[in-house]
């Protein structure tokens, strides 16, 4: 499935559904959502469009779709409110940072899905208000991805493992990132073993 298909499939349909940064309008059109864009010239396609900064003009929001933006921008939009009853998110730069922020703001990570995008993976995250009890490392990588059976899970784990192994080879052991990288590598290795070979876990 593509990232857009995951955004649509994971939408819980708590109304009103608001797609912030709707851009091409495809996701909003498929969901019958209100499409929000910051600038008039970004409006594309039919449906209901609102020119605004994030969720600000709404009194209440059932589901916020916020995708294809940086993690910090998504956090700023959610922080400015109003707080939706659910959100479906995709941070193109730093999904781990976004998850940690969400958990601190009392969001529970309910479902996650992977799509191939460019040279890497897009991570679509659905959250509801609540307490996330997973470990900090699981939150960073995606607790529902780690424990789930997404068809891209193994390729995604290998991608992250490969990044850490290359980083560890490239930096001296006393570098400030070395310990963190090693910890993440060991965590990912344990996740990889848990699914592929339960004997080793
Ligand atoms: C890269 S596009 C992503 C489009 C689509 N959501 C997707 O996932 O494919 C980001 C869009 O978000 C819009 N945007 C960024 N910040 C916004 C804000 N605070 N309020 C409304 N729209 C915003 C930009 O104008 C741009 O059209």
- Would you list the DSSP string of 101-135? HHHHTTEEEEEEEEEEETTEEEEEEEEEES---S-
At residue 171, the pLDDT reads 86
β-pairing verdict for 49-51 and 63-69 = unpaired
pLDDT (tens digit per residue) in 122-147: 999 999 999 999 999 999 999 999 99
CA 143 to ligand 1 centroid distance, Å: 26
The Cα–Cα gap between 83 and 187 comes to: 33
At residue 52, the pLDDT reads 94
Percent of the chain with pLDDT over 90: 80
The Cα–Cα gap between 71 and 183 comes to: 23
Q: What value does the mean pLDDT take over residues 158-168?
A: 92
**Is the Cβ atom of 53 under 6 angstroms away from ligand 1?**
yes
Taking all residues of the chain, what is their mean pLDDT, rounded to a whole number?
Answer: 93
pLDDT (tens digit per residue) in 85-97: 999 999 999 999 9
CA 109 to ligand 1 centroid distance, Å: 22
The Cα–Cα gap between 88 and 10 comes to: 7
**Is the Cβ atom of 36 under 6 angstroms away from ligand 1?**
yes
Domain residue limits, the chain: 3-132
The Cα–Cα gap between 190 and 201 comes to: 7
pLDDT (tens digit per residue) in 36-87: 999 877 777 788 999 999 999 999 999 999 999 999 999 999 999 999 999 9
Q: Which residues pair with 20 in a beta bridge?
A: 36, 66
**CATH: 3.30.390.30, 3.40.50.150, 2.60.40.420, 3.30.70.260. Which one for 3-132?**
3.40.50.150
pLDDT above 70 (res 201)? no
Atom of ligand 1 nearest to the CA of 53: 20
Residue nearest to atom 27 of ligand 1 (CA): 23
The Cα–Cα gap between 116 and 114 comes to: 7
């Amino acid at each position: 499935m593509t990232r857009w298909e995951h955004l649509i499939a994971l939408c819980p349909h708590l109304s009103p559904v608001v797609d912030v940064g709707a851009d091409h309008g495809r996701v909003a059109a498929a969901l019958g959502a209100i499409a929000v864009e910051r600038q008039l010239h970004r409006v594309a396609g039919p449906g209901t469009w609102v020119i605004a900064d994030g969720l600000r003009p709404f009194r209440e929001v059932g589901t916020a779709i916020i995708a294809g933006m940086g993690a910090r921008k998504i956090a700023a939009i959610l922080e400015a409110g109003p707080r939706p009853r659910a959100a479906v998110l995709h941070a193109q730069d730093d999904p781990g940072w976004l998850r940690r922020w969400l958990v601190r703001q009392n969001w529970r990570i309910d479902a996650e899905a992977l799509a191939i995008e460019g040279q890497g993976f897009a991570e679509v995250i659905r959250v509801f208000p609540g307490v996330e009890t997973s470990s900090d490392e699981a939150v960073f990588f995606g607790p529902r991805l780690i424990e789930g059976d997404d068809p891209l899970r193994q390729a995604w784990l290998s991608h992250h493992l490969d990044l850490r192994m290359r980083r560890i080879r490239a930096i001296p052991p006393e570098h400030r990132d070395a310990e963190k990288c090693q910890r993440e590598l060991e965590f990912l290795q344990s996740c990889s073993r848990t699914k592929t070979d339960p004997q080793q876990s």
